Structure 1
Amino acid sequence: MDFDPNPLERHTFWTLVLGGFVTSLTIYASNQAMIQRYLSMASVKRAQITLYLQLPGALVFTSLLVFTGMVLYAKYHDNDPVKECLVSKRDQLIPWLVMDILGQYHGFPGLMVACIFSASLSTVSSGVNALALVFLTDLLKPLYTRITNKSLDEKKLTIISKILAVVFGLITIGLAFLAQMFGKLILQVTLSIFGMVGGPLLGLIICAMFVPIVNHWGALVGVVTSICITSWIAIGSIVYTSGLSPPNPCEVAQNSTQLNNTTYSTINASTVSTSHLYTTSVVDNSYDPLATIYRLSYMWYSTLAVLVTVVVGILVSCITGGTKKKPVDHRLLSPFYLALSNMARVVNIAEIKERVKNVDEYDLDKKYKKKTDIYDEIMAKTNIEMEIVPNGNTEHL
């Protein structure tokens, strides 16, 4: 096990644990599809219980993936199917393993294909639904209202959402065909995209919950800067390193055989070409500063995006005046932050009556549903960070 803290190493203990944690957090805390699932629950408590119930299944699933990798290594560490030209990419090793071990048993390969399609369709359906909903709610509805000064009725919204789902589904299928053109592993590309997009969103949510000084300018500049930096590193890593990686030995062997099958043998041509390119890339990387940046592990993209969003957001907010002109409603902040900052002061009803003029017009012992209006009035006049409860006491937000 590698405990090297160097973030340039592709896979280490810290990369997988810390970087993987933040990457997973972008999925569970800022992914639109996951948030829609949370909102579909009857209450926050039920959403939390659902997450707790999901945790054992996720641990079992991850453990099975680890065991599958161990089986792959034990089976093919001496005879790599990629080097022997049995498969062209390492993404094909799992299907090859299934056919190699279970291919003789009728039904097992088909069962695996059915499981893959079932899992992929489940994920794609929620993603397509999220895309259609966001596009309709945040773009089409406001644009239609601004142009026509009318609102779309429910029937039209339903039809448009179904059409958008079909369109985004076709786009998703088209991107699936383009996936075979990626030089890197599909999982790495997927996690890189999560880092480029999910990281800035997670940073934005962290600013909203824990950094009340961040205003709209800081949030906007922080998110845009984070997306630009992480996209530059991720795309640059793919483009810059594509010509430095050793070529596929099968492709080299086929090309060398076609070009000159009399002067050089297939094995010699493959060996010479591979060693030459790989040696050149090592020398270039040691002196090129861009190579150091592009070598950042894809598992750290989310962490980098979150840090850039928060830091840039705070700096820009301080430059533009923060939130002094419009104080933040502390009900929107995290209770954990309020407890640490000691901003939720406990104030009794008698003190409120002394400090707020005309507060007698309110009956502070009314039903609990009135507490929001009372709180807003008190916040506007005294800037007391508290919440009133029906029994006349106060509690932290």
Structure 2
Amino acid sequence: MKAVVWTDTIQVLIMFSGMLILLIFGCKKLEGLDVAWRVADENDRIKFFILNPDPSERHSVWNMIVGGGFIWTAVYGINQAQVQRAVSFSSLSKAKLSLWVNLVCIVSILSLVCLVGVVMFAYYSTCDPVLAGIVTKSDQATITIYGLLGGPLLGLFTLGMLFPWANKWGGLFGLLSSLAVNCWIGFGAFINKVVVTPTSPVTTEGCRLNLTTIETISNITTTSIQKQEDYLIIYKMSYIWFTGLGLLVCVVFGLIVSFITGATDPKKINPGLICPIFDEVLPCLPTKTRKRLHFGVRHEDFVKFSKENPKTMERGGYDRTLYIAENTDKIPHDAIRGFPKHFENSDYNTKL
């Protein structure tokens, strides 16, 4: 883990250094960041509040808040690399602190990326490098691919953590169906060269290139845009929604298959494995109402980790005397606080 952390640290330093160098030299060429910002604004590239609710809008306030929320939940909630770092800390408070520090770094690096983009546009404002053939294509596959794969996986975890009726067949079918739907839309849009949002006007007036080459490239670009209606409308959906769509499909199909194949009895589930979501988001509700929203899961039998409670000092979770009676024939008699005996000598940190 130390090797991974040091590698990431060096990588982040290189990324920050590279972008700072680009930003400084770009501003020097343009005689200031204010000039770059003015040029971008005059060319209608500075857009903060796009309120169009259309799912085909590439970036808007709504898809960045809602769809972006699903993306970051997948990144920090189920991504093995992120979760591994979080659980490696000795306490929950340290893990939370690391995430706050990470938030500052993420905001900083994204802000730098945006500023570098503004400077680059201003520098090439009179000679678009793609239209002029200086750059043959733009590579933007990373977030799209992560949305295609991260959505189904987030849906699988959500299905298992929030829905006590889910079973293994529901989880398997939900994951596969979600992956199939996401890949169908994502790769369908790629194969059909779908233009989700028409590109803003660009010019090559400042280029010192062969005009015949520029004219040919312009004709090719125009042709590809004219073909944008020869595909299913769903292909126009913004990539920001892929993660949320994957989650929804996985949960819906997973629950349907679970009920068809025999739903799990909530009363027989270890409540430590199901999140009482309504207790967390709606703690103001009456106790009786929240208990009904447990859907049969015996959350009242679960004793959370507490330094003041000696029965949960070492492992947290269940007190042996409170363990659900229906499960005593399936769990070893000497199980301690809900964990089988072979976990007793492990280094598992239940505080996390």
Structure-2-length-normalised TM-score: 0.61
Q: Give the alignment of 1:335-350 within 5 angstroms.
A: 335-338=276-279, 341-342=290-291, 343=294
- The answer to whether the 8 Å contact 1:210/1:337 transfers is no
The equivalent of 1:309 in structure 2 is 250
Are residue 334 (structure 1) and residue 334 (structure 2) matched?
no
2:327 is aligned with 1:375: no
CA distance in 2, matches of 1:266, 1:377: 75
CA 1:333–1:346: 2 relative to 1, 3 Å:
closer
Alpha-carbon shift at residue 307 of structure 1 (Å): 0.5
Question: CA contact under 8 A between 1:233 and 1:293: conserved in structure 2?
Answer: yes
Please tell me the residue identity of whatever aligns with 2:61: F
Amino acid at match of 2:98: T
* Higher mean displacement: 57-66 or 220-229: 57-66
Match of 1:55 in 2: 103
Label 1:270 to 1:215 Cα distance change in 2 as closer, same or farther (>3 A). Answer: closer
**Deviations along 1:143-189, whole A, 9 cap, x unmatched?**
xxxxxxxxxxxxxxxxxxxxxxxxxxxxxxxxxxxxxxxxxx23xx1
For residues 171-219 of structure 1, the C-alpha deviation after alignment (integer angstroms, 9 at most, x for no partner) is: xxxxxxxxxxxxxx23xx1112211221111111112221112111111
In the alignment, is the contact (CA less than 8 A) between 2:194 and 2:236 conserved in 1? no
> Which of the residues 206, 214, 225 maps onto 1:278?
225
Task: Give yes or no for contact 2:162–2:275 (8 Å, CA) kept in 1.
Answer: yes
Deviation at 1:304? 0.6
CA–CA separation in structure 2 for the residues paired with 1:367 and 1:277 = 68
In structure 2, distance between residues paired with 1:270 and 1:191: 27
CA deviation map 1:236-265 (0-9, x unaligned)? 21112279999xx99xxxxxx9xxxxxx95
1:310 positional shift: 0.9
1:11 matched to 2:45: no
Question: Which amino acid in the other structure matches residue 63 of structure 1?
Answer: S
- Within the alignment, does 1:236 sit opposite 2:183 as a pair? no
Size of the aligned set, in residue pairs, is 250
Tell me: CA distance 1:266–1:200, structure 2 relative to 1, closer, same or farther (3 Å).
closer
Aligned-pair distance for 1:377?
4.9
| Letter of the structure 1 residue corresponding to residue 247 of structure 2 | V
Whether contact under 8 Å (1:26, 1:194) holds in the other structure is: no
Name the CA distance, whole Å, in 2 between partners of 1:338 and 1:234.
Answer: 36
Q: How far apart are the structure 1 equivalents of 2:133 and 2:107? A: 34
Query: Structure 1 residues 198 and 277 mapped into 2: Cα distance closer, same or farther (>3 Å)?
Result: closer
Q: 1:242 to 1:300 in 2, by over 3 A?
A: closer
CA distance in 2, matches of 1:196, 1:271: 32
Asked which structure has the greater CA Rg, the reply is 1
SS of corresponding position for 1:237 = helix
Structure 1: give runs of 5+ residues left out of the alignment: 91-184, 251-256, 258-263, 348-364, 382-387, 389-397
**Structure 1 residues 28-177: aligned runs within 5 Å:** 28-90=76-138
Q: Distance in 1 between matches of 2:135 and 2:215?
A: 21
Contact 2:311/2:319 (<8 A) preserved:
no
Aligned counterpart in structure 1 of residue 160 of structure 2, from 187, 208, 220: 208
- Post-superposition Cα deviations, 1:19-61, rounded to whole Å, max 9, x if no partner, equal 2221122111111111221232223332222112221221122
**Residue deviations 1:354-394, cap 9 Å, x none?**
xxxxxxxxxxx98446953223254647xxxxxx9xxxxxx
TM-score normalised by structure 1 residue count: 0.55
Structure whose residues are more often helix by fraction:
1
Q: 1:378 & 1:277 partners in 2: Cα distance?
A: 66
Taking the aligned partners of 1:210 and 1:276, their CA distance within structure 2 comes to: 48
Do 2:195 and 2:225's aligned partners in 1 also have CA atoms closer than 8 Å?
A: no
Distance in 2 of aligned mates of 1:320 and 1:222: 13
Identity of aligned residues (%): 31
Is 1:294 the equivalent of 2:235? Answer: yes
Residues of 1 paired with 2:160 and 2:107: CA distance?
A: 30
214 and 379 in structure 1: CA distance in 2 versus 1, 3 angstrom threshold: same
CA contact (8 A) 1:3 1:12 kept: yes
User: Partner of 1:241: helix, strand, or coil?
Assistant: coil
Distance 2:187 2:178 in 1: 14
What is the CA deviation profile of residues 302-344 of structure 1, one whole-angstrom value per residue up to 9, with x for unaligned ones?
1110010111111112222211287211111224344554246
